[in-house]
Chains A and B, each alone.
Chain A
Amino acid sequence: MDQTPFPEIPHRHEAFADGLLLDCGIRIAPLAIAYRTYGTLNAARTNAVLVCHALTGDQYVAEPHPLTGKPAWWGTLVGPGKPVDTDRYFVICSNVLGGCMGSTGPRSERTPGGSDAWGIEFPPITVQDMVRAQKKLVDSLQITRLFAVVGGSMGGMQVLAWASMFPDAVFAAVPVATAPYHSAQNIAFHEVGRQAIFADPDFHDGFYASHGVIPARGLAVARMTAHITYLSEAALTRKFGRRLQGGNAKTPVLFGERFAVESYLEHQGSSFVRRFDANSYLCITRAMDFFDLAADHGGSLATAFRGSKTRFLLVSFSSDWLFPTAESRAMARALNQAAANVSFVEIVSDKGHDAFLLDEPDFHRTVAGFLTGAAEAAGLS
């Protein structure tokens, strides 16, 4: 399968000459944030919804992807007449800081107009840095308060960071299939992926660009590992079982006859390397690993949300073992402790972590109802 990276294309973006001071102490300037918007901002500028994407997502939340041509990654949730209704809300989605779809990241030039990209030397970033970059974008659109911030997985971490860092700028928060910190198990899976990238001879210690190659094999293996964590055993069994690809030979050779699940993962890995930069992957997985909201607030998650007026909807999925329901429940309890307004639902699904991106009618009904109720409370007609 072709693993040639897609050519880089221009993305709509906002540039900030003053840049951004990162948690690590480095100021990165200028800062570019690539973004898309859908729907119309009302005159009072009160109907904006920010959608935060997950690890390998991007700003093309509600339209076909310009590189892959694949359908909108959250088209089930965001669009005209959908739960995040673009006929009603002004939806903003930006590529995260550290990403590779037009926002400042490892592929960006170190100095404006230079030919030297950051690559592996891009400064370490945090989820909070991503949120500060988004805040600059939201400010530049002259929006003082977002009606809602919505996101799943790493997007959900950004939602939590938004609600704790800028409580007055978030009327409603919808963190989905997420957690207030990355667990040891999650970090472990990320590390396997990173080690696969490091082990690829084409990685060249991160300076693969100057060799005119990409660590395709390593990045593909990283994606394959991660993809397993996005699915449940039930979903894998239902989709593939022990089915063999290409016939049912009674005496399969050691590596000749392939299980259907293997070629599925192979395909996931190969198509991923065409659109995603390895250094971006390293940078963003690290930001997720560092995320620990309670640790940033003296070990108390409740402190992070003390006095919050934001209305929260927490959603988990019953078969998600990457971000299990127990973590959403702990968050709900911490929000109770902070006397915040919180709704919490576990959606029954056998589709694993991926369920948040798939057709889950109960999930969509829940988000639609929550936003409608919140819109009423916010006085949005």
Chain B
Amino acid sequence: MIEPAPVRFVAKNMRVDLELIAGMISPGSRVLDIGCGDGILIDHLFRTRHCDARGIEIDMAEVTRAVAHGLPVMQGDADTDLSHYPDDAFDYVVLSRTLQAVERPREVLRQMLRIGTRAIVSFPNFGHWSLRWQLLSTGRMPMTKAWSRMWYETPNIHPCTIRDFFDLCDREGYRVEHWLAADEAGRRAPWRRAPLLANLFGEQGLFLLRHDQRAHANRSETTDPAR
């Protein structure tokens, strides 16, 4: 339904899975969208689902655009700014196509599931057959629509596959409440029950996570950042 935007940063091309993500969010929830770009998901959640949706975005031009549209967005960095939120401040924390671009993906996920009850994570799947084929046949870093920047200038410093992500969730004790693979245009791909096939044919993975046993005692202490 929505034209895919030109890929500037992979992380910013979030229009395509907006519908899929919005479909995972209950109406009236508190939502934090990390790497929210110009805030299209926040706007969508506010208007169609009456959510209290807020955003963090690293690119100041995007932040200005979002705020000028009346959206509650602040300039910030997923790697450093999540630690300032209190525990359980949100029902959902969304990280759409940004995980592969952050410095410390595992820590960002931990923070997401500390400040939110659930995390929604989408990322371009590096296990897709066309990437595998390009690497095998040419012996060089693959270039596709989603992975469109040369290795020396790509912001996507932590690529992973759908299988890798399942593995990380397992290690970290995150329950995958829902997952799906989708193509670039955000259409759901039909490999719901077959992770291996999804990992081969899905262009992006989308996960709804929850902490298995939330270790409340071991929460990291937040400190007052103001002084």
Contacts and interface: CB of A to CB of B under 8 A. Distances in A.
Interface in B189-226: 222, 224-226
A311 B86 CA distance: 18
B85 A337 contact: yes
A347 B64 contact: yes
Contacts of B75: 329, 344-346
Contacts of A341: 52, 54, 72
B24 interface: no
A27 interface: no
A346 to B, nearest CB: 6
A345 B72 CA distance: 10
B203 to A, nearest CB: 33
A368 B68 contact: yes
Interface string B62-100: 011001111111111000010011100100000000000
Contacts of A346: 60, 75
Query: How big is chain B's contact interface, by range?
Result: 20 to 34
A363 to B, nearest CB: 9
Given A339-B89, A343-B74, A345-B75, A334 B226 contact: yes
A317 B76 CA distance: 16
Contacts of A365: 64, 68
B168 to A, nearest CB: 26
B171 interface: no
Nearest to B80: A333
Nearest to B73: A343
Interface stretch (A36-44, A184-192, A203-211, A296-304): A296-304
Interface string A39-57: 0000000000000000000
A366 interface: yes
B70 A376 contact: yes
B70 A370 contact: yes
B62 to A, nearest CB: 11
A300 B227 CA distance: 8
Given A344-B75, A345-B64, A362-B64, A299 B224 contact: yes
A380 B93 CA distance: 30
B224 to A, nearest CB: 5
B60 to A, nearest CB: 6
A344 B224 contact: no
A366 B70 contact: no
Nearest to A368: B68
A368 B85 CA distance: 27
Interface in A318-340: 329-334, 336-339
Contacts of B71: 343, 373
Contacts of B225: 330, 333-334, 337
Interface SS of chain A: helix
Contact of A301 (B54, B63, B64, B226): B226
Contact of B67 (A331, A338, A370): A370
Given A337-B86, A339-B85, A343-B73, A366 B67 contact: yes
Contacts of B60: 345-346, 348
Contacts of A370: 67-68, 70
A376 B67 CA distance: 14
Contacts of A343: 67, 71-74
A347 B63 CA distance: 10
A130 interface: no
Most chain B CB atoms below 10 A, which of A333, A342, A347: A333
Nearest to A348: B60
B121 to A, nearest CB: 21
A241 interface: no
A372 interface: yes
Contacts of A66: none
A366 B63 CA distance: 9
A103 B81 CA distance: 42
B137 to A, nearest CB: 45
B85 to A, nearest CB: 5
A366 B224 contact: no
A301 B54 CA distance: 21
A294 B224 CA distance: 10
Contacts of B54: 341-342
A343 B69 CA distance: 12
Most chain A CB atoms below 10 A, which of B69, B73, B226: B226
A331 B81 contact: no
A287 interface: no
Contacts of B74: 314, 332, 336, 342-345
Contacts of B89: 339
Contacts of A333: 81, 84, 225-226
B73 A302 contact: no
Nearest to B60: A346
Contacts of B68: 365-366, 368-370
B138 to A, nearest CB: 41
5 contacts: A336-B85, A339-B89, A344-B63, A345-B67, A369-B70
Interface of A: 180, 294, 299-302, 311, 313-314, 329-334, 336-339, 341-348, 362, 365-366, 368-370, 372-374, 376
Given A333-B84, A372-B70, 18 more contacts: A294-B226, A332-B76, A333-B226, A336-B74, A336-B84, A336-B85, A337-B86, A337-B224, A338-B86, A342-B72, A342-B74, A343-B71, A343-B73, A343-B74, A344-B74, A348-B60, A369-B68, A373-B72
